[in-house]
Structure 1
Amino acid sequence: MDSTAVDRFEASRGRLASLAYRLLGSAADAEDAVQDTFLRWQAADRERVEVPEAWLTKVVTNLCLDRLRSAQARHERAAGDWQPEPLLEGDPMLGPADTFEQRESVSLAVLTLMERLSPVERAAYVLREAFSYRHAEIAGILDITESASQQHVHRARRRVAAERRGGGEVDPASARRVVEEFLAAATSGRTDRLVALLTDDVTAISDGAGLGKRLLRYKTPERVASYARAGFKPTPAKRRLAGGTPAIHIALVNGSPAVIAVVDDRVVGAVAFEVSDGKVASLRGIAAADRIARLNDAWRQREPEAPVINAW
């Protein structure tokens, strides 16, 4: 393959990766889909490809749909063992972030909600909301009619909106202050203050420090507060599991504040927060090594802010 064809693909790589990540919720799977797209591009009769960007978009989208429809993916996601892979602020795979819809489409909350959509609904929604494709273009990518594209996007919007919390975008500075208050209350063991910082319908999901195969789920402010108090309480066993004494940072993950635990410049766990109306609406704890690998790599490549807790 000549350098012109390679350059043409590389010019689209970032957009293809951010599209694949939104469709799959996994950076590792997105990278695989993009690499498979490159192999298809390499083998294609490129002289017959009139619009390379459209061709590449169609290929990567359909490769992602194949993955979403696979037996393994259906089993993992239906069983509730799956959650999105978190990405640190500034990761190019997060893609376009100029509009509220683009930023929302990559939030961990919406990536989770999109699991309830059919693969085609998910693809139509992402292509429309995050990348502003016209319905005629979406129809061509998904091999459906323009009317069907409109229906898929309408249904997807309605389902996401029905289950999405809050009334709009949250100011990052305000959300960070709520998380700082939450962290202070959790580490001090002030359960009453923790409960006051939680919405009535708060939820928490954890992968159990990456040790279990099933996700742990908690509901009600009292149960979530108890989980948070126990989870944020330092113990010798937790330090052994982490491989040392973590420093605790606050950073943005998928557009929302997150608590990041770091040992010797290595991320050992993250808790992402969704804030609504000045309170914590959900927590998502992720420590499985394969789910935080890309976040870990990104963390090592930047100079983070000073930790809010130097030695947990």
Structure 2
Amino acid sequence: MTESDWLTEGFEKNRTRLRAVAYRMLGSFAEADDAVQEAWLRASRSDTGAADNVAAWLTTIVARVCLNVLRSRRTRREEPMGVHVPDPVISRLDGTNPEEEALLADSVGLALLVVLETLTPAERLAFVLHDMFDLPFDEIAPMVGRSPATARQLASRARRRVRGADLHTPDPDVARQREVVDAFYAAARGGDLDALVAVLDPDVVLRSDGGTARPDASVVVHGAAGVARQVLRFHQPSAVARPALVNGAVGVVLTMGGQPFAVIGFTVSRGKIVGIDAVADPERLLRLDLAVLDD
């Protein structure tokens, strides 16, 4: 086997893992795919003789690419980004395919990805690579130009931020999650404010990202009464709700006139909706793979 063949085989074998790393780092499928492609170009131009562990070597390359993307984002962003919900992983209610399973390992819900957006690039890299992919700090340290001890501190700070966000673990019974979300939509269709409040946790948080095309749809609302009023205000009776799993939890894909209108993920915990994360940005919706829901 030639060196080129060895590298190609190793890259293809690890492609799914590399995309999972990039998705956790960037929260964007388009940027994740670009990062994996850039990692391949860099790897193919490198001396592979010193790469004893091709998986770790390729992971290091894609992580460095992602770190550059995150740093570039912060440099370009002169104004606060506002509401941003990362790209959702959409799958059928009857299960996910192997690539989706890799993307969703470690319960990577949309709420967690929202928290990761608040970390510094170095904190995010240290947390993702160590806590999610078990890379040792002596391998992470050179990527961020710090000592292993400092890399450990970066991951620790990120971990405290994640814990401080008080993320809820979804109820394990997807059928029960579905019942709660169905009750939510029945109340919305009936315009029943009290019924909506009844299925919402008192401290529920709604995040909706409409992008630049739909700034009116970009909101963060806290509390059951406020969320219920917001839902009734923006409810579209003509929208068709297609059940789906969104990052492994129950959600819906809303379409109007056959076109995607929003993707909504729900976090249901202890029989109540504690989180609603919606992507309503038309440009991003068109880039999502909704064919997975087709019969």
Q: Shorter chain as normaliser: what TM range?
A: 0.7 to 0.9
Aligned equivalent of 1:252: 245
Aligned equivalent of 2:291: 300
Note if contact 1:210-1:286 (Cα within 8 Å) is conserved in structure 2: no
Aligned equivalent of 1:218: 221
Aligned equivalent of 2:171: 170
Note if contact 2:23-2:32 (Cα within 8 Å) is conserved in structure 1: yes
Q: Deviation string for 1:173-229 (max 9, x for gaps)?
A: 322221111111111111101011112222222234873247222233222111212
Q: Deviation string for 1:244-274 (max 9, x for gaps)?
A: xx43222111122112124676533212112
Aligned equivalent of 1:230: 233
Aligned equivalent of 2:137: 135
User: How far did 1:139 drift?
Assistant: 3.1
User: How far did 1:22 drift?
Assistant: 0.3
Note if contact 2:251-2:265 (Cα within 8 Å) is conserved in structure 1: yes
Report the 3-state secondary structure (helix = DSSP H, G, I; strand = E; otherwise coil) of the residue aligned with 1:95. Answer: helix
Report the 3-state secondary structure (helix = DSSP H, G, I; strand = E; otherwise coil) of the residue aligned with 2:85. Answer: coil
Q: Deviation string for 1:122-172 (max 9, x for gaps)?
A: 111111222122333333554433322322222211111111233x44213
Distance 1:59-1:14 versus aligned 2 partners, 3 A rule = same
Note if contact 1:265-1:300 (Cα within 8 Å) is conserved in structure 2: no
Task: Give the whole-Å Cα distance in 2 for the aligned partners of 1:125 and 1:7.
Answer: 28
The runs of 5 or more residues in structure 2 that have no matched partner are none
Aligned equivalent of 1:4: 6
Superposition map of 1:50-69 within 5 A = 50-69=52-71
User: How far did 1:35 drift?
Assistant: 0.7
The Cα RMSD (Å) is 2.6
Task: Give the whole-Å Cα distance in 1 for the aligned partners of 2:273 and 2:153.
Answer: 33
Report the 3-state secondary structure (helix = DSSP H, G, I; strand = E; otherwise coil) of the residue aligned with 2:283. Answer: coil
Aligned residues: 286
Distance 1:71-1:142 versus aligned 2 partners, 3 A rule = closer
Report the 3-state secondary structure (helix = DSSP H, G, I; strand = E; otherwise coil) of the residue aligned with 1:117. Answer: coil
Give the TM-score normalised by structure 1. Answer: 0.81
Note if contact 2:85-2:207 (Cα within 8 Å) is conserved in structure 1: no
Aligned equivalent of 1:286: 279
Task: Give the whole-Å Cα distance in 1 for the aligned partners of 2:12 and 2:29.
Answer: 18
Task: Give the whole-Å Cα distance in 1 for the aligned partners of 2:182 and 2:79.
Answer: 32
Task: Give the whole-Å Cα distance in 2 for the aligned partners of 1:149 and 1:173.
Answer: 41
Distance 1:109-1:135 versus aligned 2 partners, 3 A rule = same
Task: Give the whole-Å Cα distance in 2 for the aligned partners of 1:69 and 1:284.
Answer: 25
Aligned equivalent of 1:22: 24
Report the 3-state secondary structure (helix = DSSP H, G, I; strand = E; otherwise coil) of the residue aligned with 2:282. Answer: coil
